[in-house]
Structure 1
Amino acid sequence: MGLSARGIIALGQLIVYVPIVFVAGFLVFRHGFSRGTGWIFLLTLSIVRIVSGAMLVATEQQSNPSHTIVTIATVLESAGLSPLTQATLGFLNSVRKGFSYNNEEGGGINATFLLHIFSSIALALIVIGGSKAGNAKTHDDLDHAMLFRHIGVVLFFILYILIALLHGYYWSQKRDLPKNRRMLLAGISLALPFLFVRIIYAVLSGFAPVALPGDIVEQNSMSKFNSTTGPWWIYLIMSALPEVLAVVTYIIVGIKVPVEKDFYQAKGRSSMEDGYRSDDAFQPAFRKP
């Protein structure tokens, strides 16, 4: 059986994210497994996209695909937004740590930790809504499920606003940041527009009409944003592409910006006797006899 436009997009995501998962894995080893660094979430997102893409392609090869598989694939498609926002929060946390090099108080309140919790709550509501929608037997069950999803996507929109505000605050304090942390912050600035488009689509998709299995979906102005039945080109432009572009932006930043050197550079500036030079993080300073 041939693939539909949605199937081709899913296959394209599968092809794109396979190499990305290896690069993301390398960056996790390079920068650390902590959620505070953000890289582990890029790896998670890559895995989610590979699994969801493979499942969607597989369903199109079946004449009568299982409703459970379709539900799981749909939930995974929506759930992919959380690792992207969590990754952004992790990178903002890395920027925050940069302030501690010039500030003995340790970089201020860790707002990113609170936003991580906010993101987890939003994701949980979307997953609950998707699961309940997949198991709904009546219209009341479906309406109850969609309420969870509506709250979840609205929380993601609020989360984006908070991320943008925190990002703007860090820019206002950029003089206190080491060079590599400023470059990481610039990378976040480049990715935020893509994340904005992705979240707007998630909100619109979350409010798009759905129907029980076997029923006809009610058509209205929001129908075109349905992530499974809406026009493929809207999904491609507002969901798949912005997400890939944000991920690729972060991958490039992760490869090009050695944020781990900031510690040694700051240490070299403050104490040359520790054996480090400020202009080269990893070369021991030669001492004159």
Structure 2
Amino acid sequence: MALTIFNRISIAEIAIYTPALSIAVFLASHHGFRKNAGWLYLVIVSVARIVGSSLNLATVNDRSNANLIVASQVMYSIGVSALVICLSNLLGRVLLGIRRQGTCTFISPQHQRLAQVVILIGLVLSIVGQGRMSEEIGNAIDVTGPTIVTVPSESQAGLGLIMAALGFVALGTLVTMLQARTVEPGEKRLLFGIALALPFMIVRIVFSGLATFGTDPRFRSYGGVESFVWYFLGMGVIMELMIVLILEGVGLTLKRQTGAVSVGRWRGVKHGGN
């Protein structure tokens, strides 16, 4: 069968995210898999995009396989959630550096952990919702005329939670920017990198919101219009790629943070040291 535009996008994603995965693995191993979990989530994002794109390409020989389509969409949900957690954890690294200097931060470790729990619950709900869409997607594939796939309430609730968590990360970044003078010199690049990546993440989430909550056919993969693919490319694929490029680029310039700990272990960190 001939390749669709979506298939070509998948090929491009595999070509881009394969080296991105190598860089993410290097960053995670250099900075520490457990010490700075933000870099680990870049690995998860890259793997999710490679696997999701591969599943999409697998539909070339089986266009009616709803399971492949749903599995590919699940990978996209995992990637979006992982990006938000990545931003949250990298912000946590900056906040930890501030606390070490004896300065209190508006965002506490408990806030960070709560945000991660909210994101994970949102991801689980999104996956459950997409599983429920499997039968409808299968029916939509067999219909030649216009058709609409109803987005389950679980998917809507899941995305709502992820949106709320991203709002928390954006607020935390804004407040931390106001404390930029207290940020460790090397970590300022990371803080500004997070701030630079956030607009792209917001556009990506807005695209998901329009597709999940809206009725505009331009943002509907089923029952929509042909221009959907270009919105998907511009507001989805490219936005994610920009985030990964920014974070990996900044990560390569950072020194290893000595004595850093993961979010789950911040409770034992005291002001001014470990």
**Matching residue of 1:225:** 219
Q: In structure 2, how many angstroms separate the alpha carbons of the residues matched to 1:250 and 1:44?
A: 14
**Matching residue of 1:217:** none
Q: Contact (CA 8 Å) 1:99, 1:106: kept in 2 or not?
A: yes
Q: In structure 2, how many angstroms separate the alpha carbons of the residues matched to 1:106 and 1:51?
A: 38
Query: How far is 1:87 from its partner?
Result: 0.5
**1:149 and 1:31, CA in 2 relative to 1: closer, same or farther beyond 3 A?**
same
Q: Contact (CA 8 Å) 1:38, 1:90: kept in 2 or not?
A: yes
Residue pairs, 1:45-56, within 5 angstroms: 45-56=45-56
Sequence identity percentage: 25
Is 1:243 the counterpart of 2:244 in the alignment? Answer: no
**1:130 and 1:51, CA in 2 relative to 1: closer, same or farther beyond 3 A?**
same
Give 2:185's match in structure 1, choosing from 171, 179, 190.
Answer: 179
**Matching residue of 1:37:** 37
Q: Contact (CA 8 Å) 1:100, 1:107: kept in 2 or not?
A: no
**1:105 and 1:63, CA in 2 relative to 1: closer, same or farther beyond 3 A?**
closer
Is 1:253 the counterpart of 2:259 in the alignment? Answer: no
Q: In structure 2, how many angstroms separate the alpha carbons of the residues matched to 1:43 and 1:170?
A: 26
Q: Contact (CA 8 Å) 1:31, 1:37: kept in 2 or not?
A: no
**1:8 and 1:19, CA in 2 relative to 1: closer, same or farther beyond 3 A?**
same
Q: Contact (CA 8 Å) 2:58, 2:68: kept in 1 or not?
A: no
Q: In structure 2, how many angstroms separate the alpha carbons of the residues matched to 1:105 and 1:196?
A: 27
> Residue 245 of structure 1 aligns to which amino acid in structure 2?
M
> Residue 246 of structure 1 aligns to which amino acid in structure 2?
I
1:183-241 deviations in Å (ceiling 9; x for gaps):
11001011001101101011111125xxxxxxxxxxxx522212466521110000000
Residue pairs, 1:1-289, within 5 angstroms: 1-34=1-34, 36-60=36-60, 62-103=61-102, 109-110=108-109, 111-135=111-135, 146-207=152-213, 221-227=215-221, 231-258=228-255, 260=257
Q: In structure 2, how many angstroms separate the alpha carbons of the residues matched to 1:154 and 1:202?
A: 10
> Residue 179 of structure 2 aligns to which amino acid in structure 1?
Q
Q: In structure 1, how many angstroms separate the alpha carbons of the residues matched to 2:202 and 2:231?
A: 15
The secondary structure found in structure 1 opposite 2:37 is coil
Query: How far is 1:65 from its partner?
Result: 3.9
Q: Contact (CA 8 Å) 2:30, 2:256: kept in 1 or not?
A: no
Q: How many residues align?
A: 247
Q: In structure 1, how many angstroms separate the alpha carbons of the residues matched to 2:56 and 2:83?
A: 21
Query: How far is 1:101 from its partner?
Result: 2.5
**1:90 and 1:105, CA in 2 relative to 1: closer, same or farther beyond 3 A?**
same
TM-score, normalised to structure 1's length? 0.78
**1:93 and 1:24, CA in 2 relative to 1: closer, same or farther beyond 3 A?**
same
Q: Can you give the 5+ residue segments of structure 1 that lack an aligned partner in the other structure?
A: 209-220, 264-269, 271-289
Query: How far is 1:135 from its partner?
Result: 4.2
**1:88 and 1:64, CA in 2 relative to 1: closer, same or farther beyond 3 A?**
closer
Q: In structure 1, how many angstroms separate the alpha carbons of the residues matched to 2:34 and 2:200?
A: 24
1:242-273 deviations in Å (ceiling 9; x for gaps):
0000001000010012252698xxxxxx9xxx
Q: In structure 1, how many angstroms separate the alpha carbons of the residues matched to 2:81 and 2:107?
A: 25
> Residue 155 of structure 2 aligns to which amino acid in structure 1?
R
Query: How far is 1:78 from its partner?
Result: 2.6
Q: In structure 2, how many angstroms separate the alpha carbons of the residues matched to 1:259 and 1:237?
A: 34
The secondary structure found in structure 2 opposite 1:80 is helix
> Residue 160 of structure 2 aligns to which amino acid in structure 1?
V
Q: Which runs of 4+ in 1 moved over 4 A?
A: 104-108, 135-138, 227-230
Q: In structure 1, how many angstroms separate the alpha carbons of the residues matched to 2:172 and 2:73?
A: 31
Query: How far is 1:168 from its partner?
Result: 1.0
Q: Contact (CA 8 Å) 1:167, 1:185: kept in 2 or not?
A: yes
Q: Contact (CA 8 Å) 1:10, 1:53: kept in 2 or not?
A: yes
Q: Which stretch has the larger CA shift, 95-104 or 160-169?
A: 95-104
**1:108 and 1:167, CA in 2 relative to 1: closer, same or farther beyond 3 A?**
closer
